[in-house]
Amino acid sequence: MNQPNTYSQPNRPEHGPLFSKLQLPAPKAQVIFWSLLVLGVGADLWSKNAVFKWLGTRNHNQFPVIKGFVTLVMRENSGAAFSLFTGWTSVLIAVSIIALCVVVALFLLGNIRHKIAHIALALFAAGIIGNLYDRIFNNGFVRDFIDVVYWPGKHWPAFNVADAMLCVAVGLLLIGN
């Protein structure tokens, strides 16, 4: 009587349908995403440091780039876009971490095949990381330095490179769909 040896191979769990169809993005998509993310974060953090250091040596802490239209300024924002949720640092950090996880998961697991979407997700991630870094390492403040006059006497809220990347990402997703 030969009985099957049930101990010869360890029990291996069956993967459900989710993992059996999982396809990570193509290598080219990975290069685009991760390169843009690193370059975007680098550009944001470098620009904040450079502008704040340079403006700190100038009278009035500002410099007109295009007189009457674009000025470099030194502003710190403890809120989100348009200074919403000012002072809610812990909540904004938590929301940023969750948003970053969602964006990276969408890229890695979302089975997205469009180059524009890969670029948009990379810009989202870079923008989130740039402002998250500031919130964590700048006493809850995000450094903004670009001031734009959109109508005589009317200023758009000051922003930074991370904010610009977030806006471009939204635009790309709207155009791409």
139 conformational bin, left if phi > 0, alpha if psi -120 to 50, beta if neither? left
147 is catalytic: no
Angle between helices 89-109 and 115-137 (to 10 degrees): 150
Q: Which of 44, 134, 147, 163 is catalytic?
A: 163
Q: Which of 44, 134, 144, 147 is catalytic?
A: 144
Radius of gyration of the chain (CA): 23
Active-site residue list: 144, 163
